[in-house]
Each structure stands twice: as structure tokens, then as C-alpha cells.
Amino acid sequence: MALLAFFFLPLFPFSAVFNAALRALRVAWLRAALLLVWPQIGVWLIVDAGRHLPPDWAAAMLAWATGSSLFYAWRMLSTRDFDIWIGFYASSAWALAWIGVVGGADAMGLRVAMACMSVTALALALASHCLRRRWGEAYVGLRPGLARAMPRLGLATTLSVLAALGAPVFPVFFAMIYLLGLANAATVVGVLVVWLLWGWAGAQIWQGFLFGTPHVEHAFEPSLRDIPVSWTVLVALLAVAAIVAASLWSMTWLMH
């Protein structure tokens, strides 16, 4: 059971299975299901099943999990394909679940923490899907000026990346604080470095997509190519709902 959990709460090199599956799936709703369900299977395998890691494994598991998360956070810096970037982000974020496993997190708390990570990865995947539908690809730096060419999609992408970086009030922020509260001093340092690398990688996404002058063929595209206003409103409402839900969840453990 623990070995299977290494695939679903991905530790390197087992995380290659998830990244290969994400790249192979091109249907939007299948990718969404994969991002939402994958880590929940891991939580079920290792926590809901009542499995407990031997005490002698604790230090090794924390080092392995932190190392895996750091590895994929570093890989995000050199990745230009947005879809691959999202896969690396999810792998880096989900590996941190082992901090909760070793730290004795309850099943519900760990499930919610992983759901916060998954929903954010899903938001990034939807932004990438919209980019590919409109430009044919989603490579960082290849087509700059998204904020001018498609301001509504640019706004949605900005919010998605902010959420992925764990900015305050977004769900990932509360999930990271929850996991940090279960970590030891050495692991906290590693997680903070991961958080820093996410911010660096996110800045590259903004610079590559949002800023700059749009290419000539996209500079005067009709506004119909942007996402509809109704989609923008829906994105904003879902973002507010996620923030409120994560805030209410945080109150349940901050008070203790």
C-alpha cells in the first residue's frame, strides 16, 4: 500500500508515471479528473487505510519528500511548455503530503490540503487549455503580450499563477501553513525553499505570457478571441468560493 502511495503522492522517480499520464491526456475533462483524483488516491492508500510508516522511516521519508518537491520546483524554472510546467508544479506540491503523513495529520486535513493544491493545478490547466485553443500552443516566451491581446484570459492566468505561488488568502497558502505546522525544523527550511522556487517560476510565467508586445498577427485580433465575460465572472466567483472555503477550513486547525 505504501509503495502504491509513492505513485499517487508522487515521490521521485515514481512521479514520472503521473507526468507521463498528464502529458498523454489531451481531453480537458480527463486532465481535470486526473488532477483532482490522483493525490486523493494516495491519501486513501496511506492514511485512510490506517497505514503507519515505521518510526525509523520518518527522517528518510521527510528527506525524500522534500528532495522530490525541491527537484520538481527546480525543474519548473527550466520548463517552457506550460502543460509540463503544471505537471511539475503538481508533483512538487503533492510530494509535500508526506510531511503530513509523517507528522500524523488526520485524513480529512490531508485530503483538504491536497484538494487545495489540486484545484489550483486545475485552474492552471484550464488557463493552459484556453491558450492552446487560441494560439495553438502554450510555450513561455513564444507569444508575449497576453495582457494586451486577451485581457480577460490574462486576468484569469494571473489569478491562477498567484494561487499556485501560495499567495496569501489563496487555498495553497493555507495548505502550506498547515503542512509547515506538522514539519520539523530541517523540513521547514526545505519547504520554504520550495515556496521560493515556485515564486521564481511563477515570475517567469508572467514575464513570458503577460508582458511585452503581442506579435503582429495577434495585435489586432478581435475581442471575440478572448474568453467570454461570463467565463471571467465564473472564474472570479470560483476563486472567491475557494478562498472562503480554505479560510473556513484553516479556522478549524488554527484554533487548536
pLDDT in tens, 165-212: 888 888 888 888 888 888 888 888 888 999 999 988 888 888 877 776
Q: pLDDT above 70 covers what percent of the chain?
A: 89
Whether 253 and 178 have beta carbons less than 8 Å apart is answered as: yes
* Cα–Cα distance measured from residue 136 to residue 128, given in angstroms and rounded to the nearest whole number: 10
Whether 181 and 99 have beta carbons less than 8 Å apart is answered as: no
Q: pLDDT above 90 covers what percent of the chain?
A: 9
* Cα–Cα distance measured from residue 58 to residue 183, given in angstroms and rounded to the nearest whole number: 11
Task: Give 101-110 pLDDT, tens digit per residue.
Answer: 888 778 888 8
* Cα–Cα distance measured from residue 98 to residue 65, given in angstroms and rounded to the nearest whole number: 6
Task: Give 129-145 pLDDT, tens digit per residue.
Answer: 888 887 777 787 777 77
Neighbours of 90 (CB within 10 A): 28
SS3 content of the chain, % helix, strand, coil (to 5): 75, 0, 20
Query: What average pLDDT does the structure give for the chain?
Result: 81
* Residue 75 pLDDT > 80: yes
Q: How confident is the model at residue 224 (pLDDT cuts 50, 70, 90)?
A: very low
Question: Which amino acid is located at 221 in the chain?
Answer: E
